[in-house]
Amino acid sequence: MARTGTPKTLSNVVFVDGARTPFAKAGSLYSETRADDLVVKVMRELLRRNPQVPAERIDDVAIAAATQTGDQGMNIGRSASLLAGIPNSVPGYSIDRWCAGAMTAVTTLSGAIMSGAYELAIAGGVEHMTHHPMGEGVDPNPRYLAERIVSQDALLMGNTAENLHDRYPHITKERADAFAVGSQEKTAKAYANGLLQPDLVPVAVRSAENGWGLVTVDEVPRAGTSMEGLASLRTPFRPHGRVTAGNSSALTDGATAAILASESLADELGLSKKMRMVGFAFAGVEPEFMGVGPVPSTEKALAKAGLSISDIDLFEVNEAFAVQVLAFLDHFGIADDDPRVNPMGGAIAVGHPLASSGIRLMNNLARDFEMNPKAQFGITTMCIGLGMGGTVIWENTSSDSDSGATA
């Protein structure tokens, strides 16, 4: 019997828009605010900012959380979607790949868009580390340790960072501290130049003690951070170690979200196209050396895309720990202070609310592209607990893109 119709071809995926709440220190500004309300706030704001997006045409909503209980449970993808006023007809689901939750929400939905199953979707992530401290409710199988599947260090992220210092002794504490100072300085400059504020969604908060307030900027940055100040900090994961609160990301609360679409639908609806997805990859490494994960995931993503590291003009690398970023840079022969890397600072300055951070990296890269219209390709990459890395390659959609440009 003759077939009718024509086979579908792969669709390009574009990053239409992204936003996030300001990130707050765990135990601070969002202590009496629900996690789901944080991500609902961002989703509502995205739809307000993009009135051309017909909510009824959203194919799916995927929201990530590393701890999926309490106010981050009840299938937060579906429950937050309903709370945000998205029509009942739009489905939703929750997703978890620990720190790379939001990144995985983006890649999973993008895969569906590429295949033609979807045209429009919302990805997001939230982590309320006040309500859900890292490791809350976790019950590691005793076989992990008894059968030496992983070392005990693999279950403590700070220990994995100390292990990286051991593996790469040329990455000294002084180098890590210097990188951390640079992150703080770049973030302060980005705030002074008004570059970060457009992506932030103000959040009204209530405190039983202090009444109502409005959170408009990240709470975590420490302007004026110095090498001398960092040198005096204790090393909580190991006596006389090299990892401190100053060269690590802070425990934070926050949420992110992004609108993704097929390029053809974006053109049809007149949506913005901040960047185009080129490809992505995830990879595994020894769990006790978790921080090196972005190296193989980036190599894998580049190979699949037919690119090399020299083709990449901009890098947004999650700063879970300074040593982890430095290991990545050393592997690819990139200088610690290369201006293409985290031009507006990173998680050491603004914080790392686990499952939400992947989209923060994408928001930053979209801004990097805007400031560097001749840059052609950029990557967002991050390490992931229990020994993984994730990398997404993006292309600048500016009409005058030129692969020979740098930041």
Beta bridge partners of 315: 341, 379
Query: Smallest Cα–Cα separation from 217: which of 239, 199, 235?
Result: 199
* Nearest-angstrom CA–CA distance, 103 and 97: 9
Q: What is the DSSP string of 66-90?
A: SS-SGGG-S-HHHHHHHHTT--TTS
Give catalytic status of residue 240 as yes or no.
Answer: no
Of 131, 132, 165, 352, the active-site residue reads 352
Please give the single-letter amino acid code of residue 367: R
Of 99, 128, 131, 165, the active-site residue reads 99
Of 128, 132, 165, 383, the active-site residue reads 383
Return the number of other C-beta atoms located less than 10 Å from residue 241's C-beta: 17
How many residues can be counted in the chain? 407
Q: Angle at CA 80, nearest 5°, toward 65 and 78?
A: 85
Classify 272 as helix, strand or coil. Answer: coil
Give catalytic status of residue 99 as yes or no.
Answer: yes
Element (H, E) at 52: none
- Taking CA atoms, 366 is separated from 99, 192, 252, in Å, by 20, 19, 23
* Nearest-angstrom CA–CA distance, 121 and 98: 21
Locate 159 and state its tokens.
């220990």
Give catalytic status of residue 352 as yes or no.
Answer: yes
**Residues recognised as catalytic:** 99, 352, 383
